[in-house]
């Protein structure tokens, strides 16, 4: 028995050593802005007047450096409206000067649930913000950065440690904003348009398979109610996308999204700015089909700054009158609210 235990230990030991080394390397890397955002918001809570919430689309498209008031971008990759509310609720009492919350409502926002689609991300919020929701009672992911999603973490580590200076150049950040450095990986406009059609034209059926609209509608109501209680103004924004994305959406869902947002406007008096089809943003402003690069982020951030100081009268209603032969299921997903 003793010999067996020794052999078992010697077999397991190299694996344990490798895992420990990988964990140390993962922790030495910059986090995916979770720690950086936490440090900034908690270190500047006495000054921040504007908070941005949403997904990676607005993480990379609103740069607080170009806003005229102290701001923090608390959006992050695949961050659903549920987690936007958690973050707001967690910090709002600390932000004594908070005046504005910019809430992203992108094309997918009302139809998306982070825990269903990217549930591993709950462990980042557990680790960095102390949010206990949506994690298993006993899981290595609560204690190990590497084990949250090993394949993904390994890819990031290889990129970071193989060329740290390039990684830093391509992954700059400021006050929660994330710099997506590049422009469609060198593709031509024609190539991008073809890729967008292949990638998205028949993609949305799966995306909208489950109807999260009623749940997300209620969460937006909670965000607005909490902000009104604290005398904070909510501004809804739909970020720009390139036409390789917008040309291939499910038009009925876009229409339903717009109708939902306008109902929120009417019921709660919030402002909404829709940049989805905005022609001021062109090929050079995008990193990929639905994420802006640093150049585009500067343009959008300056426009938002003009909105904040009331220098811009922006026409915020645009619609997509296109049909890709998909069944119109809007009638199956009628928004239901409690009166």
The structure tokens listed for 219 are 């969460």
The Cα–Cα gap between 286 and 242 comes to: 7
pLDDT of residue 8 exceeding 80, the answer is no
Average of per-residue pLDDT values in the chain: 88
The Cα–Cα gap between 196 and 258 comes to: 22
The Cα–Cα gap between 233 and 99 comes to: 6
Task: Using DSSP bridges, classify how beta strands 271-274 and 291-292 pair: parallel, antiparallel or unpaired.
Answer: unpaired
The structure tokens listed for 265 are 């406007």
Residues in the chain: 339
Give the mean model confidence (pLDDT) for residues 171-183: 92
307-313 contacts, C-beta under 8 A, 24 or more apart: 307/235, 307/273, 308/50, 308/67, 308/68, 308/69, 308/100, 309/68
Q: How confident is the model at residue 9 (pLDDT cuts 50, 70, 90)?
A: low
The Cα–Cα gap between 274 and 5 comes to: 65
pLDDT of residue 167 exceeding 70, the answer is yes
pLDDT of residue 283 exceeding 90, the answer is yes
Closest by CA position to 170, among listed 182, 161, 158, 162: 182
pLDDT of residue 275 exceeding 80, the answer is yes
Give the mean model confidence (pLDDT) for residues 246-271: 95
pLDDT tens figures, 206-255: 888 889 999 999 999 999 999 999 999 999 999 999 999 999 999 999 99
The Cα–Cα gap between 265 and 245 comes to: 26
pLDDT of residue 310 exceeding 80, the answer is no
First to last CA, the chain: 69
Instruction: Kindly state the greatest CA–CA separation across the chain.
Output: 80
> Residue 317's pLDDT is what?
38
Q: Which helix (H) or strand (E) holds 257?
A: helix 251-268
Q: Are 85 and 104 in contact (CB under 8 A)?
A: no
Task: Using DSSP bridges, classify how beta strands 291-292 and 286-288 pair: parallel, antiparallel or unpaired.
Answer: antiparallel
The Cα–Cα gap between 62 and 64 comes to: 6
């Amino acid at each position: 028995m003793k010999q067996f235990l020794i052999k078992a230990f010697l077999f397991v030991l190299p694996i344990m050593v490798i895992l420990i080394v990988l964990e140390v390397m993962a922790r030495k890397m910059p986090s995916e802005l979770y720690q950086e955002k936490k440090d900034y918001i908690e270190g500047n809570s006495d000054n921040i007047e504007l908070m941005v919430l949403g997904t990676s689309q607005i993480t990379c498209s609103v740069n607080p450096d170009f806003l005229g008031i102290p701001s923090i971008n608390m959006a992050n990759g695949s961050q659903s409206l549920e987690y936007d509310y958690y973050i707001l609720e967690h910090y709002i009492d600390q932000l004594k000067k908070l005046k504005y919350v910019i809430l992203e409502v992108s094309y997918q926002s009302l139809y998306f649930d982070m825990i269903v689609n990217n549930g591993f991300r709950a462990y980042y919020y557990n680790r960095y913000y102390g949010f206990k929701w949506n994690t298993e009672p006993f899981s290595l992911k609560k204690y190990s950065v590497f084990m949250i999603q090993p394949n993904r973490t390994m890819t990031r580590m290889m990129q970071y440690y193989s060329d740290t200076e390039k990684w830093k150049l391509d992954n700059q950040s400021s006050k929660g904003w994330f710099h997506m450095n590049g422009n469609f990986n060198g593709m031509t406009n024609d190539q991008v348009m073809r890729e967008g059609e292949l990638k998205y034209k028949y993609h949305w059926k799966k995306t909208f398979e489950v109807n999260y609209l009623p749940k997300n509608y209620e969460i937006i109501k909670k965000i607005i109610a909490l902000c009104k209680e604290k005398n904070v103004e909510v501004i809804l924004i739909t970020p720009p996308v390139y036409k390789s994305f917008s040309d291939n959406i499910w038009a009925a869902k876009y229409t339903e999204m717009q109708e939902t947002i306008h109902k929120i406007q009417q019921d709660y008096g919030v402002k909404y700015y829709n940049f989805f089809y905005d022609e001021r943003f062109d090929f050079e402003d995008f990193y990929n089909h639905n994420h802006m690069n640093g150049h585009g982020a500067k343009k959008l951030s300056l426009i938002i700054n003009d909105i904040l100081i009331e220098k811009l009268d922006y026409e915020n209603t645009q619609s997509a009158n296109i049909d890709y032969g998909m069944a119109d299921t809007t009638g199956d997903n009628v928004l239901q609210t409690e009166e």
